[in-house]
Structure 1
Amino acid sequence: MSDASNFQKSSITVAFMADQLREAVGVPLDKHNAVDDSARPVTESNLHRPGLALAGYVELFTHQRVQVLGNTEHRYLRHLGPDARAEAFGHLMQFDLPCIICTDGNALPAPQLQQATEHGIPVYGTAWPTVRLMEALRTLLNDQFAPQRVVHGSLVDVYGIGLLLMGKPGIGKSEVALDLVERGHRLVADDVVVATRQEAGVLMGSGTDLVQHFMEVRGLGLVDVRAMFGIRAIRFQKRIEVVVDMQLWDEDKEYTRLHMVEDTHDILDVALPTVQVPITPGKNITVICEVIAMNYLLRHYGYDAAEVFTERLRARIRGESPSVPRRGIEYFEGDYE
């Protein structure tokens, strides 16, 4: 297994952020002044509403963040006289702000817009309410600044579970992924998987813009999964939930048989449950991957086959009748459907 080093964006440009808000999120965003926004950086995902800074308290002003002016800030500026308004807005102009976004259909008074233009600060406006705009922008920036790692493997959605197939080059990851797709499951990425850590330890996987849903099958060449199997055979991203570690069979190595001790594999400090699958001639790895996914679902719903078997064994040793059902699916048959 060969993992590339982690990477994380240190900044994006204001122009890129504005384009993504319009195109990817659908925010109606207008630019209010003629300032070059292609060279101004946004360096963090947190946002700021500069109410205290307008009032003159700038000691803890987080000026490096995108500044959002909503109804409160605009009404405060409008209730001031022209000179006091220029002075209040001047408190912001002391700093090198990335940009200013006016929400709720508000717009800066002409003198203040001119102040921003003279200081090279882009000003935008949107009809979206402040809370809605901040939620959308924060989500966009969190995604842009999230830690990422490129992982060598194949990511497949099997019964709704993201299985990351890993192993040495040539061991057959792409072939197993292709077989899973042929059986009705969905390919997310092959060979190069971009893992992104989001909040709450969630690890999302996707492919690259270049490779997308092409697969390289040794001896066959490139296969376009989307063109061959249709749109239902692919996904553009999926949460990575289980690592399937494909290994060549080693007779001197002890492999897990009861799975009482769970192995994990760390990616971006997220511990993922891992199943080591030894590769031997005749072994149906595709079916094993399906069972891994279904077993993960069972455990998610509170049924652990190893624990149930152990309890049955203990009951037999004590001379008692096992109290657990033979099929754990009976616990939550309705939920699973």
Structure 2
Amino acid sequence: MLRVHELIDQFTLKVVAGDEGLTNEIKNYDISRPALEIGGYFSHYSSDRVQILGMTEISFFERMLTDKEREDRSKRLCRKETPCIVLARQLPPPLELIEACNASNTPLLVTDANTTTFYSRLSGYLEKALAPETNMHGVLVDVYGIGVLITGESGVGKSETALELVKNGHRLVADDNVEIKEVSDNVLMGSAPKLIQNLLEIRGLGIINVMTLFGAGCILAEKRIMLNVNLETWEKGRDYDRVGLDRRKLSILNSEIEMRTIPIRPGRSLAGIIEVAAMNYRLQNMGYDAAVEFNERLNKQIKVNGGLENDI
């Protein structure tokens, strides 16, 4: 939940009127510049959005409208669902708009930024702040620039693997509980709850502070989640993917990410496997896939020899 007063703190806005509405909730990450509305066309007024008025809107408001029209437009802009109105470039607010905002408890705010710059900054902030979110049990690490979400049953070794990755020079984002926001289509950003930021829980050792032990370069506040590595105990007789053509996806909110299941067995270097998984993911995104290449070689060999009994 995002309130108007949080917006004021984030962008250092000045409150001109409607200060009793500073707890108004902002529910829509879209932003509106009500140019047509100031001209009198309110049929499709997006009143539940933050409204931004720039030089063009204010100039038209003051020069082209009569006193009665300015009063009417101001009242119609300030609806009960309107979170706030922002004036860019430190423009002096019209008296009619001040009165309407005070009467309806609609905060009237002023920024010194130009309209385009503020619109862009506010849009990015609202998309992130109001993005759908969820929590997942797992560990998030940055491995070679790839955000790897390590999942698996409790006690399977996720945190120990993350510790080994940190020792290898990679960065920890979150341990045990990962907060995930869907900031746009198939873009998931993960971070740690404030309570456990920079901390790892190692069974038998307890809580350790990764930043204190290894330095600030070993932690990251936020990372896009691109790959899921699911750890599970090796089951004898179970058929595990040996080639890499079996592409599975993990669904989080309305997005999907690549998923790899790694069976755990004594002697396997999980940290090393995850490093290779991250590098292989990067190669695949660049257009090279070793599994596809092998499959093509195999099919070619079958066509040439008519069988594999002499080659494999």
TM-score range, shorter chain: over 0.9
Distance 2:206 2:224 in 1: 28
Q: Could you tell me which of 217, 226, 242 is aligned with 1:257?
A: 242
Distance 1:230 1:112 in 2: 52
| Contact 2:32–2:51 under 8 Å retained in 1 | yes
Structure 2 residue runs without a partner (length 5+): 306-312
2:36 corresponds to 1:52: yes
Query: What SS class does the counterpart of residue 78 from structure 1 fall into?
Result: helix
TM-score, structure 1 as length reference: 0.85
Query: What SS class does the counterpart of residue 171 from structure 1 fall into?
Result: coil
2:205 corresponds to 1:220: yes
| Contact 2:5–2:22 under 8 Å retained in 1 | yes
Q: In the TM superposition, what is the alpha-carbon distance from 1:98 to its structure 2 partner? A: 1.4
| Contact 1:54–1:91 under 8 Å retained in 2 | no
Query: What SS class does the counterpart of residue 20 from structure 2 fall into?
Result: coil
Structure 1 residue runs without a partner (length 5+): 1-10, 23-28, 321-337
In the TM superposition, 1:54-73 aligns within 5 A as 54-73=38-57
In the TM superposition, 1:68-107 aligns within 5 A as 68-79=52-63, 80-93=65-78, 95-107=80-92
Distance 1:307 1:60 in 2: 51
- Alpha carbons of 1:90 and 1:36: their partners in 2 closer, same or farther (altered >3 Å)? closer
Query: Aligned-residue CA RMSD in angstroms?
Result: 1.7
Distance 2:250 2:134 in 1: 14
Q: In the TM superposition, what is the alpha-carbon distance from 1:274 to its structure 2 partner? A: 1.1
| Contact 1:13–1:37 under 8 Å retained in 2 | no
| Contact 2:18–2:103 under 8 Å retained in 1 | no
Distance 2:175 2:79 in 1: 50
Distance 2:265 2:97 in 1: 72
Q: Which moved more, 1:12-21 or 1:189-198?
A: 12-21
TM-score, structure 2 as length reference: 0.92
In the TM superposition, 1:233-244 aligns within 5 A as 233-244=218-229
Which position in structure 1 is the counterpart of 2:310? none
- Alpha carbons of 1:90 and 1:263: their partners in 2 closer, same or farther (altered >3 Å)? closer
Q: Could you tell me which of 183, 195, 198 is aligned with 2:168?
A: 183
Which position in structure 2 is the counterpart of 1:31? 15
In the TM superposition, 1:81-160 aligns within 5 A as 81-93=66-78, 95-160=80-145
| Contact 1:202–1:239 under 8 Å retained in 2 | yes
Size of the aligned set, in residue pairs, is: 304
Which position in structure 1 is the counterpart of 2:8? 18
Distance 2:14 2:304 in 1: 76
